Amino acid sequence: ETGKVKTKGTLLVHCPTQEIQHRAVKSGIVIDAQLYEARLFDSSVLLRQCYKCAQWGHTQSACGKQAKCSKCAGNHDTRQCKESRVECANCGGKHKAWQKQACRVFQAYLNATQERRVLLRVESDRVRATDNSSSPSPPTSSDGFTIVANKRRRGNSPSPAVHAGTAQARRTVGRPTYLSQAAADPSQAKIGMWVPSGTSAGNSALGDDMELSQDLGSQHIASNEQ
């Protein structure tokens, strides 16, 4: 609507491996010093309608079906239609194929899409709840010996991870707090980054698709529901 401020947005990130994808879902992604929540994404949740056959779920670039008119359901292209009657090419109702609210076929397609979106959210929660303590088996040399690095005796004291977990609060989405106080402190160290000329910092490639969304007004993450 005119004059309405957009407060939500979605960013799709492609990952090269499932391991990196799950790592991003668990830890989130930092962009411009701000932590964003990530969740799994699949292109099947996008609403698509073919302009060739008028059916839902794909586009004309991937359509091998016969052309159907979106106005009268005839076997011709919509732009060549000369009929005065109106009929949906999907449900046979007295409306045009792109009129969603009146089409029962679209409503069934929409419900299935929403169910898939919910399943992706559930799967994202399952990935976040996965135990991170499991580690890959240690490498083995060609002569059959297991390679062990920094082996120490197991004591009764808590592991460093336990200390870190009790001493530091869990990260939340949004920008770090107290930035202004830290910047005003004359003793605050400044970190700079030097990049040699002729080189550029490439983005780390990431595996299956993920969806990233943010509530720009309150710094909380929200889905980009249509």
pLDDT in tens, 41-51: 998 899 999 99
Q: Which pLDDT belongs to residue 53?
A: 95
What is the C-alpha to C-alpha distance for residues 107 and 103, in angstroms, rounded to an integer? 7
What is the C-alpha to C-alpha distance for residues 217 and 226, in angstroms, rounded to an integer? 18
Domain definitions of the chain by residue range: 11-44+98-129+207-226, 50-97
Decide if 141 contacts 3 (C-beta within 8 A).
no
What is the C-alpha to C-alpha distance for residues 51 and 55, in angstroms, rounded to an integer? 8
Q: Which residues of the chain have pLDDT under 50?
A: 158-168, 195, 199-209, 213-226
Q: Which pLDDT belongs to residue 54?
A: 94
What is the C-alpha to C-alpha distance for residues 147 and 144, in angstroms, rounded to an integer? 9
pLDDT tens, residue by residue, 191-214: 555 545 554 444 433 334 455 544
Q: Which pLDDT belongs to residue 212?
A: 53
pTM, rounded to two decimals: 0.55
Cα dihedral across residues 116, 119, 125, 128: positive or negative: negative
Kindly list the distances between the CA atom of residue 14 and the CA atoms of 70, 199, 207, 212, in Å, as whole numbers in the listed order: 34, 23, 5, 11
Q: Which pLDDT belongs to residue 196?
A: 52
